[in-house]
Every structure is written in C-alpha cells, then in structure tokens.
Structure 1
Amino acid sequence: MKAVFVNKFGLESPMRLQEADIPRPKSEQILIKLGASGVNPSDVATRSGKSHHSPHMKIPYIPGLEASGEIVELGDEVKEFRVGQRVFGRSLGGSYSEFVCLDGKVASVLPDSYSFEEGAGITLPLRTAWNALVIKAKVTPGETVLVQGGAGGVGMATIQLAREMGCRVFATVSSSKKASFCSELGATETINYREENFIEKCSELTKGMGVDVIVETAANENFHLDLKAIKVNGRIVLMGAGLGKNPRADFLVSDMMEKDARVFGITGVNLAKKMPFIIPKFSTLLEKGSIKFHVDKVFPLENANDAHELMLNGNFLGKLVLVP
C-alpha cells in the first residue's frame, strides 16, 4: 500500500509517500480501506519534534490519528461490526495510508448522511470538545464559554457542543470570514483578536464579570491573557500549545491566585478508557444533526506536505483531510 512517512523530525524535512505493508488487525481492531484521514494540529506538532508526543514516536513513522473508511477485516474479538460497513474512529497511528487499523472499542458506524471526508474529521475534534466541556469544565446551561481559535476543527466542534449544552458562546477569530463561519456554527459573539482586545471585549460582554470557561488552543501565546479574561472561580482548559512552537507559557502566579482559577490540561491519550462510554453520545448528536463538520479542503495523500503547510498558516475553516 501507499503511505506517507515522517523520516526525520522537523517541519523543514518533507514527508514522503512510500510503499508499506498493509497492517493486520489485532484481536480488538478493525482494518479499514481508507476513505479519508483527518489532518490535525497534533500531527504537525509531533512531526516538528517539539511536541510532548514526539519522544514516543519511532522514526520513520506514518502520521495520522483519525480516519473513516470501509471495513475489510475484523480482529478475532470484534463482534459489533461486519465487513463492508462504513465507519469512523481514532486510528492507532498511521491514518495517512491506504489501509489503517482502528480500535474496535471506539469506532462508530458512519451515518449515511456523512461522507468519508466529513467522517474523517469527527473523532478528534468532538472528543476533545467533549473532554473540555463535559468532563473537565463541567459547563452548565447559561454559562459563558470562550473558544480561542473558533474556526479550526476543534473550535468548530466546541462551539457547537457548547451551544447544544445551552451556553453563551464567544469565539476568537482572525478575519471577518472566520467570524461569519463561527456565527453560523452558533457562536453568540465573535472577537477578531487582530482588531479588538479580547480581554476588554469579554469584560464588556459579561458586564465586567469575565467568562466562566475558556477553551484554549494556543496556550503558549494566550494563557497569561486568559487568566485576565476569566471570572473569579473561572475554568481554563488547555488543549493546545501552538503548532511547532516552544510549548512554554509565561504567566503570573498571582493572576491565577486572584481569580481562584481552575486550570485543566487535556490529552486524548488519557481519555482512551472513557471513549467506549462517550461514543454512543457522539452517535446521538450526529444522528440528530446537532453538530456539523465542515471540510475546507481535501488533499490526496501525496500532497500531505501541502496540508501541513495550510494547517500552519491557518487560512482555512473547519477541517483538512487526506484521501487515497
């Protein structure tokens, strides 16, 4: 099969399309013929060599953490699926390839109303949003939620899930096009951080109280500012530290103390054991049509480097995906 390989850490080193063996599913896995693979910020960050995931990767490796496709083989212990079904889910690494294994415990049947391209972009954004809002921040109806970077894949899912939970949702954006996109998703207010001070705007929108919850996708740049934008006893959920950048954040401890702030870090690795219980809730949301996934651009596998470049410059809405 054809697969994209990272042969050296560093974004200056291009990925290569190479031949690889088709993987065989283990007892609890399913093998799919790729319909599409999601492209995520974590893919780029890991490839940079600066992510906390990077030391765990053995060069060369095939990137990619989510995929959709058609089942071609089942592991011995998989009973709930059948060959030929359309599914989506988190891959066990390696979704930038023509065939990939998914964990059978956390895969789902892809509704007929969703294309493979849409299905490839569901798993990581929606589970990240769920982890942030439901498990960590425990948001309640009527609370204010600020989504930093609302027009990306995770931002798109977080806005819609927060709206579905009855929250008042603010989203930061970098352009009027992204502002319109976030408004269509259900954001109550959008804040163009290139034109407005989001701390002052959040204060204005909450009558000086500050926001209840901030979902942060670029903690290295914004964390010290988030501490000023939240209300007393506010919550900040850190889900990203900037693409290919130094993941350190400078902040005043006194700011955290003055706000009695609660700060959560999240990663999908620690969520794995809870996924079998969460997946049915995802399916309900998808079947209701409560959450939509916008795919901005589709790339063939051989153009995976172009997809990473676009991910880095941020000039897109929603998701980027790869197809074989």
Structure 2
Amino acid sequence: MRAVRVHQFNLDVPMRLEEVPDPRPAAGQVLIKTGAAAINPVDVAIRQGVHPYAKLVKPPYIPGAEAAGEVLALGPGVQGFQVGQRVFGRALGGGYAGRVLLDARGAGELPARYSWAEGASITVAYGTAWNALVIKAGAGPGETVLIQGGAGGVGMAAIQLAKRLGCRVVATVSSREKADFCRGLGADETINYKAEDFAARCMELTGGRGVDVIVELAACDNFDKDLDAIRVDGRLVVVGTGTGKGPKAEFRVPGVMTKDVRVLGMAAVNLAPKMPEVLRRLGSLLSEGALKVHVDRQVRLEEANEAHDLVLSGKFLGKVVITA
C-alpha cells in the first residue's frame, strides 16, 4: 500500500510517500480501506519532536491518529463490526495510508449522512472535547466556558458540546472569519485576541466574576493570562501547548493559589479505556446528525507536507483531511 512516512523528527525534513506492506489486524483491531484520515496539530508536534508522544514512535513511522473507511478484516476476538461496514476511529500505526488499523475499542459506526472526510475528523476533536468538558471539567448548565482557539478541530467540537451541556460559550479567535465560523457553531461571544485583552473581556462578560471553565488549547501562549480570566475555584483544562509551541509554559503560582484554580491535564492515551462509553454517547449525537464537522481542506497523500505547513500556520477552519 501507499503510505506517508516520517524519517526524522524535524519539520525541515519532508515526509515521504512510499510503498509499504499492508498491515494485518491483530486481536482487538479492525483493518479498514482508508476513505480519509485527519491531520491534527499533534501530528505536526510529534514530527517536530516536541510532543511527549514522540517517545512512543521511532522513524520511519506513519503519522496520523484517526481515520475513517470501510472494514476489510477483523482481528481475533473483535465483535460488533462486520466487513463492508462504514467506520471511524483511532488509528494504530498511523492514518496517512491506504490501509489503516483501528483500535476496536476506539472505533464506531459512521452514519451514512457523514462523508469519509467528516468521519475521519470525529475521534480526536470530539473525543478530546468530551474529555475536557464532561470528564475533566464537569461543565454544566449556566456555566461560562472559555475555549482558547475556537476555530480549530477541538475548538469546533468544544463549542458544540458545551452548548449541548447548556453552557454559555466564549471562544477566542484571530480573525473576523474565524469569529463568524465560531458563532455559526453556536458560540455566544467571540474575542479576537489580537485586538482585545481576552482576560479583561472575560471579566467584563461575567460581571467581574470570571469564567467557570477554560479549555486551553494553546497553553504556552495563554496559561498565565488565563488566571486573570477565570473565577475563584474555576477549572482550567490543559489540552495542548499550541501548534509548534512548547514544551514549557510560564504562569504565576500565586495566581493559581489565590483563586483556588483547579488545573486539569489530559492526554488521549489515558482516555483509551473510556472511549467505548465516549463513543456511545457521541454515537447518539451522530445518529441524530447533531454534530457539525467542518472540513476546510482535503488533500491527497502526495500533498501531506503542504498540509502540515497549513496546519502549522493555523490558517484553516475546523479540520484538514488527507485522502488515500
């Protein structure tokens, strides 16, 4: 099969499109013919060598954490799936390839109303947003949630899920186009962080109290300032450092202490045991067609390097997807 592989942890070294052996499903795995695979900021960070997950792979490796496609074969012991079924899920061994292995625990049926590109964009974005809002923060009706970076994949998902939870949603953006995009997803307020002090604006929007929950996707840029935007006893969920940023973020320790802020970390690898339940909950929303999945750009395997440059630039809305 054809696959894109990373040969060195260095963004200046291009990925290569190569012929590699087809994978075979082991116990607990589902083999699919790839319809599409999403490109996520974490893919770029791993390739850059700055993400902790870089320690889990050794070049040459196939990047990509999620994919959607048609089931070709099932590994021993896999139940609940059948050959020919449309599925999406967490990729094992990389998603930028013509054939992809999915973790059966982290895979679900893809309703016909969703395209391959949309299906490939669900697992990371919506799984991460669910983990941040429901499992970690316990966000609930009437609370104000600040989403730092509302126009990306996780931001797109977090806006919609927070609204489903009955929250008031404030999203930070870098342009009017992104503000319009977030409002179209349901955001109540948007803040252009290039033109406004987001912390001051959050205090204004909450009558000086501060937001209840922050979903932080760019901690290296915002962590310290988040402490000025959050309320006493608020919950700050650290989802990411920011594409191409890290690994360190500076913050005032007294700022955490004086507001009794609960700083909550999270990682996809730790969510794996809970994914069946998360997918069950998301599955009901998918079957209703309640989740909007915006795919800004679809590229071919041959364009993987350009797609990484696009993701690193941040000049896209929602998701960027690669087709095999």
CA deviation vs aligned residue, 1:247-301 (integer Å, no higher than 9, x gap): 1011110000111000011110001011112211010011122211000000001
Match of 2:42 in 1: 42
Runs of 5+ unmatched residues, structure 1: none
Query: For the residues of structure 2 that align with 1:207 and 1:16, how far apart are their CA atoms?
Result: 53
What is the root-mean-square deviation of aligned Cα atoms in Å?
0.7
Match of 1:109 in 2: 109
Residue 185 of structure 2 corresponds to residue 157 of structure 1: no
Offset, 1:310: 0.5
SS at match of 1:107: strand
Offset, 1:55: 1.7
Task: Tell me if the contact between 1:67 and 1:88 (Cα under 8 Å) persists in the aligned partners.
Answer: yes
Offset, 1:140: 1.0
Query: For the residues of structure 1 that align with 2:49 and 2:74, how far apart are their CA atoms?
Result: 34
Query: For the residues of structure 2 that align with 1:71 and 1:56, how far apart are their CA atoms?
Result: 26
Residue 254 of structure 2 corresponds to residue 254 of structure 1: yes
Match of 2:98 in 1: 98
Match of 1:67 in 2: 67
Query: For the residues of structure 2 that align with 1:245 and 1:171, how far apart are their CA atoms?
Result: 20
Query: For the residues of structure 1 that align with 2:87 and 2:288, how far apart are their CA atoms?
Result: 18
Task: Tell me if the contact between 1:89 and 1:102 (Cα under 8 Å) persists in the aligned partners.
Answer: yes
Match of 2:281 in 1: 281
Offset, 1:246: 2.6
Match of 2:127 in 1: 127
Task: Tell me if the contact between 2:105 and 2:272 (Cα under 8 Å) persists in the aligned partners.
Answer: no
SS at match of 1:212: strand
Query: For the residues of structure 1 that align with 2:244 and 2:181, how far apart are their CA atoms?
Result: 26
Query: For the residues of structure 1 that align with 2:269 and 2:73, how far apart are their CA atoms?
Result: 25
Match of 1:318 in 2: 318
Residues 72-221 of structure 1: pairs in structure 2 closer than 5 A: 72-221=72-221
Task: Tell me if the contact between 1:2 and 1:17 (Cα under 8 Å) persists in the aligned partners.
Answer: yes
CA deviation vs aligned residue, 1:198-218 (integer Å, no higher than 9, x gap): 011101100000000000001
Task: Tell me if the contact between 2:33 and 2:99 (Cα under 8 Å) persists in the aligned partners.
Answer: yes
Query: For the residues of structure 1 that align with 2:183 and 2:244, how far apart are their CA atoms?
Result: 29
SS at match of 2:146: strand
Offset, 1:93: 2.9
Offset, 1:195: 0.8
- Residue 124 of structure 2 aligns with an amino acid whose one-letter code is L
Query: For the residues of structure 2 that align with 1:90 and 1:123, how far apart are their CA atoms?
Result: 6
SS at match of 2:97: coil
Offset, 1:302: 1.1
Query: For the residues of structure 2 that align with 1:12 and 1:159, how far apart are their CA atoms?
Result: 34
Match of 1:270 in 2: 270
Offset, 1:243: 2.0
The two structures have a TM-score, normalised by structure 1, of 0.99
Query: For the residues of structure 1 that align with 2:244 and 2:106, how far apart are their CA atoms?
Result: 29
Offset, 1:234: 0.6
SS at match of 1:38: strand
Match of 2:309 in 1: 309
CA deviation vs aligned residue, 1:31-84 (integer Å, no higher than 9, x gap): 000000010010000000111111221111000000000011111211211100
SS at match of 2:63: coil
Task: Tell me if the contact between 1:39 and 1:322 (Cα under 8 Å) persists in the aligned partners.
Answer: yes
Runs of 5+ unmatched residues, structure 2: none
Residues 284-299 of structure 1: pairs in structure 2 closer than 5 A: 284-299=284-299
Offset, 1:106: 2.0
Query: For the residues of structure 1 that align with 2:252 and 2:78, how far apart are their CA atoms?
Result: 50
Offset, 1:104: 1.3
- Residue 154 of structure 1 aligns with an amino acid whose one-letter code is V
Task: Tell me if the contact between 1:146 and 1:170 (Cα under 8 Å) persists in the aligned partners.
Answer: yes
Offset, 1:14: 0.7
Task: Tell me if the contact between 1:37 and 1:121 (Cα under 8 Å) persists in the aligned partners.
Answer: yes
Query: For the residues of structure 2 that align with 1:152 and 1:237, how far apart are their CA atoms?
Result: 17
Query: For the residues of structure 1 that align with 2:288 and 2:258, how far apart are their CA atoms?
Result: 42
SS at match of 2:36: strand
Offset, 1:245: 2.4
- Residue 56 of structure 1 aligns with an amino acid whose one-letter code is L
Task: Tell me if the contact between 1:164 and 1:290 (Cα under 8 Å) persists in the aligned partners.
Answer: no
